[in-house]
Amino acid sequence: MGLTAAAMSAGLLLIIGLEYGINIEGLRHETLADMAEGVAAAAGRGEDPAQWHLFQTYPHAYAFRVVDRLAPGGQRLLAGANPALLPPLVEVLEEADDTGVRYDERFVSVPVPGGDAWHLTSHVQVGDALYHVDVAMRGDPAWLWRFSLFKEMLADGLLPIGLLVPALTLAILLTTRRALQPLSQIAQQARQLGESAGSGQALTPLESGRLPREFADVVTALNAMLDRLGHSLARQRQFASDAAHELRTPIAVLRLRVSTLPDTAMARELDGELAALAHLVDELLRFAHAEDVMASDRTPLDVVAVVRDACGKLAAKAVLRDQSLALEAPDEGLVLPSHAELLGAMVRNLVDNALGVSQPGTTVTIHVRAPGFIIVEDEGPGVPDAQKSAVFGRHWRAERQRREGAGLGLALVRRVAQLHGGDVWVEDRPGGGARFVVRLVPLA
């Protein structure tokens, strides 16, 4: 808005300047009128304008004459300079009547030696004195027109613009702000909707009451789109849940039948593949239920207790791999709004991932820190910088992952962190390995 006002002011000043600049005759008149007022005021103060630098330096370009019309005994010449550019004084004083000297005010171009000059005759009141002033100018070597132009622009442009443009700008700003206030309300609702959707809450429609018709139509269209999007997301979650449930039974049957086969390398490999498939189905179910669970069943939980329980469930696996689990957490606990099963699945995925990439004899360390950080450090090969941004994508697999799973574990970790209003990222662990940092938003 300020830039608009400045541009508008500059445009108006340019128009005014061009108007005066194109009108050469008018600009000459204003220049001579300013000269007449200046020399009359100086003469009234008892000064001699003939000594000015202007008339001394440019004797063939500028001239003036000041006559006191009310002097005792009749009109009297007070001051003058360069009379060759002016008509003879006798011609000026020859017209008189019984009341005194009469001078006609005029602005003309008169011939003078060396060319034509502009001549202005005017009457100037200075206090109780009334002066007849003749001024003339041939060319303008001192560029007096610039000062006259600035004076006119100041009177006709700068002062009105300085008063009107700020007032108009303020009025436009207040009017625009008031007119766009409903749009600001819609934007605020949209931001709140984005935050709630990111944390797993339902897509609630925007309020359209007491809105202008134009904005109400926009809100109605957005609500219709949100409704379709909500139904689409619900169908996707339901499909994933139904597919996972349908797959559980045949997978269980297959594993049971495989268990009856002779203990061969092929049977063990087949059982491992079925176990990985069962793990994938469980992760799909968690993905499908995560949104609904966090939206409908979120309660204050002690994160330390959930993390300790998840580590306990993986302790046997760590022992079998000749690995250790270390937990560093505050004694007073850390309470966050969450769901125990979903939060536990997130921690188990992180710790299980760390165990899977670490060698026997190493330690996986879990830190729980206020206000809402869960940090898992391993002593594995680490994550290359080029893969740090992709490690949480669905079905991401890297050479560092040589274990069961289908790459949904870390993707589930990120989604659960987002459902808590936070996020997860991976860093390099000092001394080697990876450090996964989960940030959760604490309970308000």
Over residues 73-82, the pLDDT tens digits come to 667 788 999 9
Question: Residue 20: is its pLDDT beyond 50?
Answer: yes
Q: C-alpha angle with apex 308: 241 to 444, nearest 5 degrees?
A: 75
Question: Residue 133: is its pLDDT beyond 60?
Answer: yes
Neighbouring C-alpha atoms within 13 Å toward the C-beta of 280:
16
Rg of the chain's alpha carbons, rounded to an integer? Answer: 46
Residue 126: which pLDDT band, with cuts at 50, 70 and 90? confident
Sheet holding 434-439, edge to edge: 324-328, 363-369, 373-377, 434-439, 423-428
Q: Average per-residue pLDDT in the chain?
A: 78
What is the Cα–Cα distance from 99 to 398, expressed in whole angstroms? 114
List the domain boundaries for the chain.
Answer: 2-156, 197-232, 298-444
Residue 261 confidence (pLDDT)? 83
Residue 146: which pLDDT band, with cuts at 50, 70 and 90? confident
Question: Residue 203: is its pLDDT beyond 80?
Answer: no
Beta pairing partners, 124: 131
Query: Which of these ranges, 104-108, 413-417, 424-428, has the smallest mean pLDDT?
Result: 104-108
- Mean pLDDT, residues 318-334: 92
Residue 57: which pLDDT band, with cuts at 50, 70 and 90? very high
- Mean pLDDT, residues 251-280: 81
Question: Residue 205: is its pLDDT beyond 90?
Answer: no
Which one is predicted more confidently, 365 or 244? 365
Query: Which of these ranges, 111-120, 282-291, 330-339, 389-398, has the smallest mean pLDDT?
Result: 282-291
298-444: CATH superfamily: Histidine kinase-like ATPase, C-terminal domain (3.30.565.10)
Query: Which of these ranges, 45-59, 130-144, 207-221, has the smallest mean pLDDT?
Result: 207-221
Residue 382: which pLDDT band, with cuts at 50, 70 and 90? very high
Question: Residue 291: is its pLDDT beyond 70?
Answer: no
CA dihedral 402, 403, 406, 409 (to 10 degrees): -110
pLDDT digits (tens, 9 = 90+) for 297-324: 678 899 999 999 999 999 999 999 999 9
Query: Is cis: bond before 371, omega within 30 of 0?
Result: yes
**Segment of 119-128, 159-168, 290-299 carrying the highest mean pLDDT:** 119-128
Question: Residue 265: is its pLDDT beyond 90?
Answer: no
Which one is predicted more confidently, 220 or 169? 220
Residue 239: which pLDDT band, with cuts at 50, 70 and 90? low
